[in-house]
Amino acid sequence: MQTFHLSEKRTSKMLWKTDHIIAKLIKDEVKREKETVNLIASENYVSKAVLAAVGSLLTNKYAEGYPGKRYYDGCEVVDNIESIARQRLMKLFNAEHANVQPHAGSQANMAVYLSVLKPQNTILGMNLAAGGHLTHGAKINFSGIIFNPVYYGVDKETQQLNYDEILKIAEKTKPAMIVCGASAYPRTIDFKKFSEIAKSVGAYLCADIAHIAGLIVAGLHPSPVKDADFVTGTTHKTLRGPRGGFILCKTEFAEQIDRSVFPGIQGGPLVHVIAGKAVAFKEAMGKRFISYQKKILSNAKYMADELIKRNYRIVTGSTDNHLILVDLRSKNITGITAQQILGEAGIIVNRNAIPFDPLPPNIASGIRIGTAAITTRGMGKKEIDKILDFIDEALWCQNNHNQLKLLTKQIKMFAGKFPIYAE
């Protein structure tokens, strides 16, 4: 750790000398992260070991292709790194094949679609307004432009998935692929039922586990690996690795998937990021990681319960994972306004549409909250109580600039007690 710290110092000095503008902005971001409370459900903090790998000289190496089949020479080392990353990922999820090259979850989804589908094939995915992701068929996204998207949503009463209704939609639309998984859905997804639906209509099944990958590794959410033809995900969020994507699939699709990633949609992989992924996968194999995921989950459930006690409406009434979707209509405030006020105070959230939202997505009636980042910083129930006090006060004094300024100082002091990285 000491060696890394000294190296970090030297690097910082070099950056300041070369480009003080960027150096200053990075310093500003370090300060921002230290002094705010991050409740973004899709964000987390990587370990120093992951940071060291991603910031290494591996960024210098171009390595188009795959281990043993590169288009450049000098890839002996990076071949080993990528092979280790793939093997660790397969072990974590008990998968037959893994591809660790996708730059993001979106690229992972694109690679899967293009591996077995043709343009204008029908894909059935979760409606963005119900908690799905852009890449599940949104018309403004490649998935809705290249393919013919049809959608399933959630039940109006329970705001949860209705598998009988999804089956009816699948039977009516006959999709070539069904996509399950979500970006803002707080409940357990029954991958077996999705598999049964897909098989009944002759569709491929792709499970997007971007948000819940860490929980699956820890056995806190069912795994789709046995039930789905393809599994995509991100290495950040609950998995706590560097920003990037991955694909898992059955052996029968391995060649198609690899070809779809490269040369299909990407050029050379980001070898330094793959190294960071490998480190994160090793960290995820330890007992501490399982305990950490349990804490993420218990923190989320506790926060949802306490929000209800404070008269906030929680979509579906609780959560089974790391995220909570808060309906703010009972507080007479919009999602965008809450996001702005809380952001000014130092509580970082994102506005989010709720199911059957009467407001447009850019305004939204809700906010999405996640507990991964605060759990990484060592926060628990006592700290969550304090955070909720901050949220209540910020929303209450939204028109009182002086009070909000005072609150910002309090939040800054609070966040400072939980360093992201030990100095």
Could you report the per-residue pLDDT of 115-136, keeping only the tens digit for each?
A: 999 999 999 999 999 999 999 9
Judged against a pLDDT cut of 60, whether residue 2 lies above it is answered with no
Whether residue 236 sits in one domain with residue 216? yes
Q: Kindly report, residue by residue over 365-394, the tens digit of the pLDDT.
A: 999 999 999 999 999 999 999 999 999 999
Instruction: Annotate 329-363 with b (16+ C-beta within 10 A) or e (fewer).
Output: eebeebbbbbbebbeebbbbbbbbbbbebebeeee
What residues have CB less than 8 Å from 349, skipping those under 6 apart? 39, 40, 338, 339, 342, 343, 367, 368, 369
How much is the pTM?
0.94
Angle between helices 335-345 and 381-396 (to 10 degrees): 110
Name the residues annotated as catalytic: 62, 64, 208, 234, 237, 243
Q: Can you tell me the distance from the alpha carbon of 395 to that of 367, in angstroms, rounded to the nearest whole number?
A: 13
Q: Is the pLDDT of residue 12 over 90?
A: no
Tokens 């080392």 appear where? Answer: 77
Q: Are residues 155 and 232 in the same domain?
A: yes
Same domain, 85 and 115: yes
Question: Which residue is listed with tokens 């690996």?
Answer: 225
Per-residue pLDDT tens for 149-171? Answer: 999 999 999 999 999 999 999 99
- 298-308: average pLDDT: 98
Q: Provide the residue range defining the domain that includes 84.
A: 57-284
Q: What is the DSSP letter of 5?
A: H
Other beta carbons within 10 Å of 4:
13
Q: Which of 29, 24, 1 is nearest to 12 (CA)?
A: 24
Q: Residue 416: pLDDT band by 50, 70, 90 thresholds?
A: very high
Q: What is the pLDDT of residue 423?
A: 61
Please tell me the distance from the alpha carbon of residue 134 to that of residue 45, in angstroms, as a whole number: 24
Per-residue pLDDT of 48-81, as tens digits, reads 999 999 999 999 999 999 999 999 999 999 999 9
Residue 3: per-residue pLDDT: 40
Q: What is the mean pLDDT of the chain?
A: 95
Q: Are residues 224 and 343 in the same domain?
A: no
Q: How many domains does the chain have?
A: 2
Same domain, 89 and 169: yes
411 and 304 in one domain? yes
| 180 plus 155 within the same structural domain | yes
In the predicted structure, residue 7 carries a pLDDT above the cut 70: no
Q: Could you tell me the sign of the dihedral formed by the alpha carbons of 29, 30, 35, 39, in that order? A: positive
Among residues 284, 316, 339, which one ends one of the domains?
284
